Amino acid sequence: MTANAFRLDGKLALVTGSSAGIGLALARGLAEAGAAIVLNGRDTQKLEQAAGVLRAEGLSVHTCVFDVTEGASVQAAVEKIETDIGPIDILFNNAGMQLRMPLHEFPEEDWHRLMRTNVDSVFLVGQAVARRMIPRGRGKIINICSVQSEIGRPNIAPYMASKGAVKMLTKGMAIDWGPYGIQVNGLGPGYFKTELTEKLVADEQFSAWLTGRTPSRRWGEVAELAGAAVFLASDASSFVNGHVLYVDGGVTATL
């Protein structure tokens, strides 16, 4: 196995929820490994701004605005991408959301919104892309899980439930689609500095607790997810299927 096994030249990757944060970092890492990227989001302006940043770095980037929680929108978008750009070789199901509050105060409508965004989207986009990959006999699908697929924290029970579901859906996809040459794995980020975690990073008490509990003794930087993303998307992981790779500084290894 050589370094060439990690190259993604000639591949097309769709990354959902990729106008900022972890999704944009994943897209950048894949593009730097040679892939052409399709960024996705619902805000056209933010998406084009993100694409402009990557294009300025000399990377191959396309955009596709669609709602990952609406089946018809997903089907139309996947068809458009494959018709206008090319076959999707790699899918990163990254779109997600977080809401923090005690479970007994959590509104029903927010529960359904969170599940649609975090779980339904993985099923809808994954299924739409897999239906295209199956006749081709190949493909890579990577679902973004979380350390909360394994461990919990107060006031995020619905998020934990959603990411636990994504973990098991990943395994189910691998079982059903593996015989068709499709590999489905999960990537489980720990605590990273992003736009969504700014308040937690600024919370001295929480940061002290987190860094004290994490063997690496610090927050993660989003660029540190790129290596694992490229591994799972490339031929280097050709016999890895149904696995969740945690990139968390060791936090899931501790009590």
Model confidence over 224-236: pLDDT tens digits?
999 999 999 999 9
Separation CA 62–CA 55 (nearest Å): 9
The backbone torsions φ and ψ at residue 83, rounded to the nearest 5 degrees and listed phi first, read -80, -45
Any idea of the CA torsion for 237, 240, 243, 248, to the nearest 10 degrees?
Answer: -30
Model confidence over 92-126: pLDDT tens digits?
999 999 999 999 999 999 999 999 999 999 999 99
Give the pLDDT confidence score for residue 78 in this predicted structure. 99
Distances (CA, A) of 194 to 25, 32, 162, 173: 10, 20, 20, 29
Model confidence over 27-86: pLDDT tens digits?
999 999 999 999 999 999 999 999 999 999 999 999 999 999 999 999 999 999 999 999
Q: In the chain, what are the domains?
A: 3-249 (3.40.50.720)
Which residues are catalytically annotated?
159
Rg (C-alpha) for the chain, rounded Å, is 18
